Structure 1
Amino acid sequence: MANFSTVVELYRASSRPRFDGRSFSTTVVLDDTLSFIIKSLLNGNKGNGCFEDIEIDGEMFDEDDIENIQSNIRIGKKFTYTFITPKNGAERFYRSLEDFLSINTLKKGILPNNYYIAYNDFYSLDDDRPSIIDKIEKICSIITLLSEIAHYHDTKSESSNYRLVFVKNSDSKSTSVALETCITEKMLQIDDINDDVLKTLLSPEDSASPHHLEKIGIFRNTIVEYTIEKNLNFEMLICNWPLFLKLYNNNLSTYMSGFSFHKARKDIATAEAEFAEKISKIITELTGKILSIPVSLLASIGIFKLNSTPEMSLVLSGVVLTSFLLHMVLVNQEKQLNIVTHAKDLAFKSFIKNSTSYPKELNDDIQIAIKELTKNQAKCQKTIRLFMYLTWLPSSIAFAIFLSRFFI
């Protein structure tokens, strides 16, 4: 069944005669391929194009007399014809790339499915695609994606292109730009036309990311900033597309660095407060437990009032046992302090590891936090050791009194 591809086959099989924008005319010697193509087009829908001025071996034929024409189509005969190419909107034959770029659908980012450019001998369904066609497709993709990112675009307008409006909001005022979309040959001279950034911004995966709206906002603001600063229209924006993307990536990196800075500062403050609280809790528990030392001290001094050896031995044993139990409690507190210290070192290890990527202000905060926690840790350690010595003071006094009663 004849279709647009069949017309392209006829044109190529006829050695690509001159195409005037409406039709092409030539004389060919019929072979199997040409005979099959011509018969298919004669029997097909005229929406796919039609013949006129048919001449076979010098004899003129009425193009509507299909049966008579087909009966005279034989291999080796000379077939002279004019073929009017199909015009189904943008899906048609074009004389040149310039003609193709002038169609309105491209200005709205819509690439026709079936088209043929005679000068370049390119058919849209060909496997071998010239680089310039790839660039056109990229620009069409950019137009389509930008129309989704823009604050406003006139989708219902009957104009030949889009008018993309981007707004940059600030505390004092709002600034906007309106870009009239187009595709020109000048834009096709750019080598690095990339739509990956736009595709990523509008992908479902990025839409679910925590900073998606911020990224879209930064992209819009960058367009306003860049086009106003450079006084660019849409054509010049695409011509400077690599530089624009570089500016956008720099702006995005600045934002993400600022976010990481504030997040890291918040994490440091949280970690500092958490470990300071744990160390303070250990000291508070020590204070409660060490109150038993004065009681033991009074008991040890009370040995002076005792006369019998069994009574003194019993009190001495009680004081020594109390000192031992308190000592074990303090040993346990010291182990808890070591665990907290180890956890603190692990928590701050990642901050220290990434310190080279942090600004000086954040590095100073990290060093201050570590210094203060280390001071608290050392103070707690000294307090525990002091209490360990003090726990044995009642026992030492009781033992000294016990011995003095027998040897002095």
Structure 2
Amino acid sequence: MASSVRFAKAYRALGKPKLQTKSSFCFLAEQFNAEVGPAVLELVASQTGRFDEILIDGKEIDAATIEIPDVWSKFEFTYKLSSTGEADVYQGFQQLLIECKAIARGKLPKEIYLIDEDVCSQGEEFLDSRLRNLNSICQLIVCLADLAHYHDEKLRGEEYKLIFVEDDGAKGAKTIALQPSIDLELLKYSVNSDLLTTLLESNFDKNPHLVKERSIFRASLVEFSKDSADARERFKFLVLRWDEFLRLYNNNLDTYLSGFSFHKAKQEVGSAELSIADQLSKLISDISGKVLSIPISLVILIAIAKAENVFESTILVLGVTLTSFIMAETIAAQRLQYKRICHSRMLLFSSHEKKIEIYPEDLRVYLRSAIRGLKKNEGVLGRSLWALRFLAWIPAIAAVSLHSFIYINELDASWRNIMVAAQELFGRTFCL
């Protein structure tokens, strides 16, 4: 297997001879150097190309076997890099970007050696800033490919386009294409793809809102790239203005989340208003049936007026008084329930009242209107409960007053008899 890293090691040991063409170089040593032999063998092991000619002390050596004597005075050879693409050894960045087609799809070879710049990478180690930037752009391409609706490959795969669609219900679908194409200018820019990695399709199980966030990203990309007509220019513009695009996406996402939050808050306010209003309505319904007993109790006054004796009248008065007492206590219990409803209203709306200044204008108006309406209902109901509790005692007071007026003489005589009996009782007690 070809290894550009082993080639770099051998090439450096040979003194980094200049390329005669874009894929071949010649080496000449006119005096013995102990490092040349191992470097040549390392070059063979790298499998990155072939020797066109090897001369040691003027004698041609078989390139298939390459037997190097222990001592020599002149060593020269011509080495030609493989043209099959097996070895990732290039003259420089320009050749790398032109000939390595996989880069346009975000696939950067694990091992790369660039001869003119003497830049070598191995695995995830990119010591040169340009290679690091190239790797970041490749990661961007991979993420964009995951986020794209589909890929458009034409001209025998030489063009690789990423298609993004924004579905606008009012104006129809908007479609843009990005064609990844990297030039030397883009190698000056690093792209942070951390945000995009969180939007990958593989994260669906981790983020329930991922579908909407991916849609917002696509819509933001369409909005950001709408002024560019060429697919390659769109991609380049995106890389050059990546930070600006991220701000646009974050603003759009914040707008969506805020709108979602405000819509949820509006639903909560509406549900709370409906719940409190329903509780108040039930309380009024419970009271309305009991209030009818107050005028019915007043009818007993007629029976008291027509009673044949004081005993019958007294029984009727006691009945009316007991009814008024029960009614008054029932209304008192209803008032306690009313206070609990008022307290629940305060709890339900307190959190929204604290955040009212950050809510949009329509939600602020709606919230204030709901609170104002409920407070008004509570005030009317509270005063009604006080009035009804007072009215509940009117039949009892009226009955006692009428009974006292009709039977004042009998009551006075009875009172006198009671007092005399009490005096006699207390008198005997003291005597004893």
Q: Shorter-chain TM-score: what band?
A: 0.7 to 0.9
> 2:61 is aligned with what amino acid?
F
Task: Give the 3 Å change call, closer, same or farther, for CA 143–2 of structure 1 in structure 2.
Answer: closer
Task: Give the 3 Å change call, closer, same or farther, for CA 178–156 of structure 1 in structure 2.
Answer: closer
What whole-Å deviation, never above 9, does each CA across 1:339-365 have from its counterpart, x for those lacking one? 222222122122222222212121111
SS at match of 1:186: helix
TM-superposed CA distance for 1:183, in Å, is 0.7
Equivalent in the alignment of 1:99: 95
TM-superposed CA distance for 1:147, in Å, is 2.4
Distance in 1 between residues matched to 2:239 and 2:104, nearest whole Å: 13
Residues 25 and 83, structure 1, Cα contact 8 Å, conserved in 2: yes
Distance in 1 between residues matched to 2:361 and 2:289, nearest whole Å: 42
Residues 10 and 43, structure 2, Cα contact 8 Å, conserved in 1: no
Distance in 2 between residues matched to 1:204 and 1:312, nearest whole Å: 88
Task: Give the 3 Å change call, closer, same or farther, for CA 184–319 of structure 1 in structure 2.
Answer: same
> 1:108 is aligned with what amino acid?
R
Distance in 1 between residues matched to 2:152 and 2:86, nearest whole Å: 21
Equivalent in the alignment of 2:250: 249
Task: Give the 3 Å change call, closer, same or farther, for CA 112–391 of structure 1 in structure 2.
Answer: same
The aligned runs of 1:224-303 (5 Å cut-off) are 224-231=222-229, 232-299=233-300, 302-303=303-304
What whole-Å deviation, never above 9, does each CA across 1:172-216 have from its counterpart, x for those lacking one? 44443333220112222335x222332222254457655433333
Equivalent in the alignment of 1:63: 63
Residues 200 and 206, structure 1, Cα contact 8 Å, conserved in 2: no
What whole-Å deviation, never above 9, does each CA across 1:285-315 have from its counterpart, x for those lacking one? 1111222223333335533344555544443
SS at match of 2:181: coil
> 2:332 is aligned with what amino acid?
V
Distance in 1 between residues matched to 2:262 and 2:172, nearest whole Å: 28
- TM-score with structure 2 setting the length: 0.80
Equivalent in the alignment of 1:30: 34
Task: Give the 3 Å change call, closer, same or farther, for CA 358–91 of structure 1 in structure 2.
Answer: farther
The aligned runs of 1:317-396 (5 Å cut-off) are 317-396=318-397
Residues 161 and 182, structure 1, Cα contact 8 Å, conserved in 2: no
Superposed CA RMSD in Å reads 3.1
TM-superposed CA distance for 1:93, in Å, is 0.7
Distance in 2 between residues matched to 1:245 and 1:341, nearest whole Å: 47
Task: Give the 3 Å change call, closer, same or farther, for CA 288–23 of structure 1 in structure 2.
Answer: same
Q: Which of 186, 190, 199 matches 2:197? A: 199
Distance in 2 between residues matched to 1:301 and 1:132, nearest whole Å: 107
What whole-Å deviation, never above 9, does each CA across 1:105-134 have from its counterpart, x for those lacking one? 111211112221223333221645222222
SS at match of 1:162: strand
Task: Give the 3 Å change call, closer, same or farther, for CA 274–110 of structure 1 in structure 2.
Answer: same
TM-superposed CA distance for 1:104, in Å, is 1.5
- TM-score with structure 1 setting the length: 0.85
Name stretches of at least 5 consecutive residues in structure 2 with no aligned partner: 414-432
Residues 14 and 39, structure 2, Cα contact 8 Å, conserved in 1: no
SS at match of 1:229: coil
Distance in 1 between residues matched to 2:383 and 2:282, nearest whole Å: 15
Q: Bigger radius of gyration, 1 or 2? A: 2
Residues 304 and 399, structure 2, Cα contact 8 Å, conserved in 1: yes
Name stretches of at least 5 consecutive residues in structure 1 with no aligned partner: none
